[in-house]
Amino acid sequence: MSDQVKYVLDEKDIPRDWYNLAADLPAPLPPVLHPGTKQPIGPADLEPLFPMELILQEVSTERRIEIPAPVRDIFRMWRPSPLIRARRLEQALGTPAKIYFKYEGVSPAGSHKPNTAVPQAWCNKQAGVRKLSTETGAGQWGSSLAFAGSLFGIDVTVFQVRVSYDQKPYRRALMETYGARCIPSPSSETESGRAILAQHPDSPGSLGIAISEAVEIAAKNPDVKYALGSVLNHVMLHQTIIGEEAIKQLEMAGDDPDVVIGCAGGGSNFAGLAFPFLGLHLRGGRRRRIIAVEPAACPTLTRGRYAYDFGDTAHLTPMVKMHTLGSTFIPPGFHAGGLRYHGMGPMVSHAYELGLIEAKAYKQTACFEAGVQFARAEGIVPAPESTHAVRCAIDEALRCKAEGRAETIVFNLSGHGHFDMGAYINYFSGKLVDADYDEGELAMALAGLPSAAAD
């Protein structure tokens, strides 16, 4: 069919390996530092938290890392995900641009997160781990790790930011359906949690606090490991299956993207689509525009500092060099919970610092407007996070219209919004506003960044 809409692959076409951007970077990633000594750490320092196979992936500079066969077996439940040509959106916009999106909402948890939850759970299982602890905000990551845990018989404990635990019971129910235990954070189960509760008994929690609790549980219990759903190198690696598939599917379509777009909180769904395309360029291919889209209320790349910082509030994690708003920065309340993090993944930050990618920040009402326009044209209601990528793709298509250019745009639709309809209700009722952070608080958080030897 000449006007094909959907590019599907057979399960035998699931990529056999992940792509590691570290192999092709023109400058190496800055080292990870020990939180106490501020000196570069080795793989052994991370062993209390992660199984060795994931640690080796974290520090690897091999270009291709094989996806274990049992992980590919599981992926067959929903992968390869479809690449869809948004023809009706193109028509609605009257743009000469071609718009494609990679749709990750087809996974059991409804987002891209199982792409890394499954290999993380499998590597832990191989290492004999039977208990994992993690944190979650709105619950996309927590429900994905719960799903992966159910597949491999691993007990999963999720510290969920209390305000989400109370206000968004549906993703919590999804975690419990998969058999995970969900604890509102801050909790009385950890020192970090008790310290917060002593000062703020009614604390609504934050992702930084929940990370501290989950890390503490793993650090103190030899039979428990920790799992993180974004930021780290091995998470970016796992998500590259998205871009590897998209490259094949765009070849089927006979197209080559000029612009590659993903929303970015910790950076994993963005990296998942973008890094394989970036790799093509770094190995001699043509240069494409690659755009990370972040919320204006938590503008890590566009307003943060590239510096060593902690990943959590209690400063239990190693220090990584990343674009950060400071680990004490509390972003204002907005609906894309998956983008409310003070830092950006080190690999994404490094690529941005090297000028290999662009960044844009959008306010949420403009994003929901784009999400509704997309839903009415293409049927799929995007998750609030994903509406940021939709907004940027529409703006690029409108630029193409103004310039009369038939460019090819591809973006990552990282998840559906069926768990997030409350945000759309607020949008339609006019209650959703463009909450902004306080400039003074941002300045204080940036001034409070720790100094580090290698900074």
Binding site for its own copies (CB under 8 A): 1, 4-6, 8, 10-12, 73, 76-78, 84, 88, 106-110, 114, 147, 150-151, 169-171, 173-174, 176-179, 372, 375-376, 378-381, 416, 418-419, 421-422, 424-425, 428
CB neighbour class for 441 (10 Å; exposed up to 12, middle 13-18, buried from 19): middle
Backbone angles phi, psi at 290, to 5 degrees: -125, 120
Neighbours of 341 (CB within 10 A): 27
C-beta of 173 vs 197, nearer to its own copies: 173
**Residue 421 Cβ vs its own copies, minimum distance, rounded to whole Å:** 4
C-beta of 53 vs 378, nearer to its own copies: 378
Report the sign of the C-alpha dihedral through residues 35, 36, 42, 45, in that order. negative
| CA–CA distance, 236 with 241 (Å, rounded to integer) | 10
Which amino acid, one-letter code, is at 105? G
**Residue 191 Cβ vs its own copies, minimum distance, rounded to whole Å:** 30
Does residue 452 sit in helix, strand or coil? Answer: coil
Does residue 286 sit in helix, strand or coil? Answer: coil
* Six token digits for residue 324: 């950060």
**Residue 332 Cβ vs its own copies, minimum distance, rounded to whole Å:** 23
C-beta of 77 vs 127, nearer to its own copies: 77
Helical ranges in 2-139 per DSSP H: 52-59, 69-75, 87-93, 114-126
C-beta of 238 vs 416, nearer to its own copies: 416
* Six token digits for residue 359: 């960044």
**Residue 39 Cβ vs its own copies, minimum distance, rounded to whole Å:** 42
Backbone angles phi, psi at 28, to 5 degrees: -70, 155
**Residue 63 Cβ vs its own copies, minimum distance, rounded to whole Å:** 26
| CA–CA distance, 403 with 433 (Å, rounded to integer) | 32
C-beta of 58 vs 420, nearer to its own copies: 420
C-beta of 85 vs 388, nearer to its own copies: 85
| CA–CA distance, 45 with 33 (Å, rounded to integer) | 10
C-beta of 151 vs 356, nearer to its own copies: 151
Neighbours of 176 (CB within 10 A): 15
C-beta of 12 vs 286, nearer to its own copies: 12
Name the one residue in this structure whose structure tokens are 């997309």. 374
**Residue 296 Cβ vs its own copies, minimum distance, rounded to whole Å:** 23
**Residue 229 Cβ vs its own copies, minimum distance, rounded to whole Å:** 17
Name the one residue in this structure whose structure tokens are 């940027």. 392
**Residue 167 Cβ vs its own copies, minimum distance, rounded to whole Å:** 13
**Residue 71 Cβ vs its own copies, minimum distance, rounded to whole Å:** 13
- The count of residues in the chain is 455
C-beta of 130 vs 315, nearer to its own copies: 130
**Backbone conformation region of residue 128, classed left if phi is above 0, alpha if psi is from -120 to 50, else beta:** left
* Six token digits for residue 314: 């209690």
